[in-house]
Structure 1
Amino acid sequence: MGKILVTGFEPFDGGSFNPSLEAAMALPDKIDGVDIIKLQLPVVFKKAADMVLDVIGSEKPSAVVMLGVAGKRDKITPEVIAVNIDDARIADNEGNKPLFQRIEEGGPDGIFSSLPVKKMVDTLNDKGFLSELSYSAGSYVCNDLFYRVLFSLKEDNNLIPTGFIHVPMPDADGESGLLMDDICKGIEVCVKTVIDDF
């Protein structure tokens, strides 16, 4: 197994910080002998997915782990399924605001993650990190990215393990959530779980 692509999003909605990007960039360049490719993505419908698919085409990673932030959650939540809908509460970073429209006409209503999500959650909890499965990646750019990448890989018959993990906003004192350092360590555990699953 040669390399894993890990992505995180830039800040959005007027913010100056996105823990998904911090967690991606904090990863070592190599984990268990596997090269880690880190990619910053724009919070823009379709553009983020196009960037990931371009890098998949050029770098040929053995797995793809995409990260995003879920501000109302307090745990690391691997996503089980991407759904074929864009429905933006706020505009993306280029002003796009699709409302209740299908991502891929004729595409399946949902596509399951091919990452070992249950094993990730079990491993995280065993190591003392707060984690649970999520069955909704929302309907904003995170889910748009998740769905488009899975759909394109399936169309190309590219079966590399691919999926999405939401991280919470870090808790300042760790009393009601996870510290940023814990989020970074937790994502490293997730990537190691992907490697160990091969």
Structure 2
Amino acid sequence: MTGNLRILVTGFGPFPGAAFNPTMPLVERLAKLRRPALDDVAIATHIFDVAYATVDRELPQLLAAHRPHALLMFGLAARTPWLQIETRARNAVTTIWPDQGGTRVGKRSIAGTADARTFGPHVFRLLRAALATGIDARASRDAGSYLCNYLCWRAIEATHHRTGTRLAAFVHVPPLRRDGSARVPGGLTLDHLVDASEAMLLEMAKAARQADRAWNPRRL
């Protein structure tokens, strides 16, 4: 690896049924982290509009511009009160719910290949890191069939090409109030999410270094 380790951290904007997406302030907070363990990590951030065309256009642009070694992506799970670390992307897309731009997909699959694609065993390291902060975090095999799952699929695709992106992970967060407080008594707050996400970011950096050593033994 030449230069800094590069990690791209992404979130989503609002979408129909969710006028406030807590991944936006979460990504903003992560961009401002200053920790010794991240001194040589270049963190780029991006917020996607909740639109299929936006993901298809902007993800390749971001990969070309930042050449990240790893992707750490966040999305909102509006009905889930815990942190949810996705283990795979399903080859499924809803034909019912339109995206923010009004586009409704006309077929039920993303690609005519496998039923699912997995992120890899590193996601369980992220899960353990999140749990170590004391929050309720769980692994998930179902990222839904909307934009979050779609981005998961496209990101895993990217790791299969020799673009330098080795690892990707996607984390669903619960809904919050606009002030960062929990939506339910005793629920997760923005501060909880930042602490857990920081721990996952640190673990992602370690995993990315190890993955890069495996691909390029002479580096690092």
* TM norm. shorter chain > 0.5: yes
Partner SS, residue 160 of structure 2: helix
Residue aligning to 1:175: 185
Q: CA–CA distance in 2 between the matches of 1:58 and 1:30?
A: 23
What is residue 75 of structure 2 aligned with on the other side? 68
Residue from 83, 98, 101 that aligns with 2:90? 83
Task: Kindly provide the amino acid, as one letter, of the partner of residue 25 in structure 2.
Answer: E
The change in CA–CA distance for 1:15 and 1:123 in structure 2 (over 3 A counts) is: closer
Partner AA of 2:22 in structure 1? P
> Max radius of gyration: which structure?
2
Residue in structure 1 matching 2:14, options 7, 11, 14: 11
Greater shift in the superposed pair: 49-58 or 137-146: 49-58
Q: Structure 1 vs Structure 2: percent identity of aligned residues?
A: 24
Q: TM-score when scaled to structure 2?
A: 0.81
Query: 1:153/1:124 Cα in 2 relative to 1: closer, same or farther (>3 Å)?
Result: closer
- Is the 8 Å Cα contact of residues 6 and 38 (structure 1) preserved in structure 2? yes
Check 1:155–1:145 CA distance in 2 against 1; reply closer, same or farther (3 A cut): same
- CA offset digits 1:111-133 (Å, max 9, x no partner): 11147211112222122122010
2:152 paired residue number: 146
- Provide structure 2 residue ranges, at least 5 long, that are not aligned to the other structure: 210-220
Q: Distance in 2 between matches of 1:139 and 1:112?
A: 15
Aligned-pair RMSD on alpha carbons?
Answer: 2.1
Post-superposition offset of 1:39: 0.3
Structure-1 residue corresponding to 2:63: 56
Question: Which runs of no fewer than 5 residues in structure 1 stay unpaired?
Answer: none
Is the deviation greater in 8-17 or in 153-162?
153-162
Give the structure-1-normalised TM-score: 0.89
Runs of 4+ in 1 over 6 A off after TM superposition: none
Count, aligned residues: 197
